[in-house]
Structure 1
Amino acid sequence: MIWLTFLPAGITLALGVLLGRVGLPLHPVWTARVLCTVAAMTVPAAAGTLGFVAVNFWATLEPAAAGRMPEWALFGDDEPVPVPLGVAAIVLLVAGLCVTLRLASRWVAEVRSAQDLAQSLLESDVPMAVSVPGRRGGVLASRGLYQVLGAAELEVVFHHEASHLRHGHHRYLAAGSLAAGLLPPLRRLNGRMRFSLERWADEDAAEAVADRELVALTIARVALLQPSGEPGPLPAFADSGILRRVEALMARAPGRNPVTGPVSLLGTGLVTGALALTALQIDHAFTHAFL
């Protein structure tokens, strides 16, 4: 019954791929939360499954060690793990650890660098604003931003960045980046989540200044002056999906989904959380269910 071991990771990964291709009819607040939940749960489901296979592969190679292992760490049957499968699981686990360490070190380095810069005005002619998390964080703004924007537009920018900081969007970005780095099929999910976070902050800024058109025009104006490049690990004012963000702001404000939003998030969390928790026990669960 070894194939059942891959069921939790397979389901959560399939859900992540689906949500990366199909938009959710929810307010950006709930969309970002649902996508982050799926990304965050898929990683432990996949890692747990690989770890489970690796442990049982070791038990296959060293039968004497299997007797010292707890029952929950072993498959419900006594079938040996095929060598190609066991080796692949170990290789993927090691590769995943390397990717995680690389992403974590990059994240820490860039956040610390941004925190140092956030203590003063950034000497750059490129108009930019970035929300920097942490005690030494804040809003990192450039001199160029003050040169091209008026007082009302600057208010929009700072309300947008304050939303990122207030809601801890850097945690969402970290979860999405880790999931995309470890599981390439989730890159589109990560992209949709980044876009939802920007839309979330856009809507907060529009509500704060009570002028959706002003927010849209400010986003477009700053975006036109940005150099092209990949989005960084910190939420910036002129991030991805500029045209769609402007179009959304020029339209009617989305509904808050006071019922469907929490229900969608709760349902997603329960399903993906249960799958992640059973990633190490799915074989036993199915064995006991059918015996």
Structure 2
Amino acid sequence: MNWLTFLPAGITLALSVALGLLALPLHPMWCGRLLCTVAGTTGLATVGTFVFVAVNYWATLHPRAANRLPEWTLVGDDDPVPVWLGVPATVLTAVSLMIILWRSVRWFTEVRAAQRMAEGLLRTDVPIAVAVPGRRGGVLVSRGLLQALEPAELEVVFRHESSHLRHRHHRYLAVGALAAGTLPPLRWLNERMRFALERWADEDAADATGDRELVARTIARVAILRSEPIPGTAGFSDSGVIQRVRALLDEAPGRNPVTGPVSLICTGLATGTLALVALQLDRAFNLSFM
């Protein structure tokens, strides 16, 4: 085992940090998709590297048990994994798996709770508008929001939240939350992805209503009335309202019919390949990526 073992995780992690700091010149739709892809593959590559090193460390300690493992899970040389590398990898593997399990359970619990609330109108004067995923989900609004907004503004709200549901943005949020929870450097990437999803829904609402100023005004008004967000959901309760309003008051962004798909495919292939190499799946399937 040498430094090449950590190269795929290092490259994807560096790319994630860079994308978390830089604004992409793409339509929010392609930004959201690209950032979600990078977050997922970075998490897979990094945690996969932890697992790979930990498995090889314990194979060093228990060589007889190692004979039962698939060949692709072990390094190609006979050099034992040192303690200073194996112990941290084992600890990081355990912590990462615990965080993934905890966040997954928490996310499903929050979604179930939101689905139960979505069965009817929220009888509260607190203005709430969120997208609740799943078959029993829908657009969840409160009595306070219905009373505070005009009919045209309510249409903007429903168009925005319907965009979240139609494009299954809850899956993007889940991937980003898992990646950021496991790898703290990915928090900036997750925040930028969340902002891109909100901008994506904003643009869908603007396209549906044909009035960008109305959407901008509605976002600003709901932001003034908003309360604490409901965890695990997407909606007007998210941050970045000022930037979203400014973007809507500008010209509509280009749809990037060529650069968007090309950027997503190239980035996905690059980071996906690195994730596969980090997991040693290239050896499992007798493929050669690098």
Mark yes or no: TM-score above 0.5.
yes
TM-score under structure 2 length normalisation? 0.94
Structure 2 residue 169 is the aligned partner of structure 1 residue 169: yes
> How far has the Cα of 1:196 moved from its partner?
0.3
Distance 2:174 2:258 in 1: 28
In structure 2, relative to structure 1, the CA distance for the partners of 1:170 and 1:252 (3 Å cut) is: same
Does the 8 A contact of 1:122 with 1:143 survive in 2? Answer: yes
Aligned residue number for residue 15 of structure 1? 15
> How far has the Cα of 1:280 moved from its partner?
2.8
Which residue identity is paired with 1:211? D
* Partner-residue secondary structure (3-state), 1:131: strand
Aligned residue number for residue 220 of structure 1? 220
Which residue identity is paired with 1:233? G
- In structure 2, the gaps of 5 or more residues are none
Aligned residue number for residue 153 of structure 2? 153
Distance 1:184 1:133 in 2: 26
* Partner-residue secondary structure (3-state), 2:140: strand
Does the 8 A contact of 1:2 with 1:283 survive in 2? Answer: no
Aligned residue number for residue 261 of structure 2? 262
* Partner-residue secondary structure (3-state), 2:176: helix
Which residue identity is paired with 2:260? G
Deviations along 1:27-68, whole A, 9 cap, x unmatched? 000000000000111111112111110111012112333444
In structure 2, relative to structure 1, the CA distance for the partners of 1:222 and 1:283 (3 Å cut) is: closer
Which residue identity is paired with 2:211? D
- In structure 1, the gaps of 5 or more residues are none
* Partner-residue secondary structure (3-state), 1:253: coil
Aligned residue number for residue 32 of structure 2? 32
> How far has the Cα of 1:283 moved from its partner?
10
Distance 1:282 1:7 in 2: 15
Does the 8 A contact of 2:216 with 2:249 survive in 1? Answer: yes
Distance 1:203 1:32 in 2: 13
Does the 8 A contact of 1:5 with 1:280 survive in 2? Answer: no
TM-score under structure 1 length normalisation? 0.94
| Root mean square deviation, CA, Å | 1.8
Which residue identity is paired with 2:61? L
> How far has the Cα of 1:282 moved from its partner?
8.9
Give the ranges of 4+ consecutive aligned residues of structure 1 lying more than 4 Å apart after TM superposition.
282-285
Distance 1:39 1:283 in 2: 21
Q: Percent identity?
A: 66
Aligned residue number for residue 64 of structure 1? 64
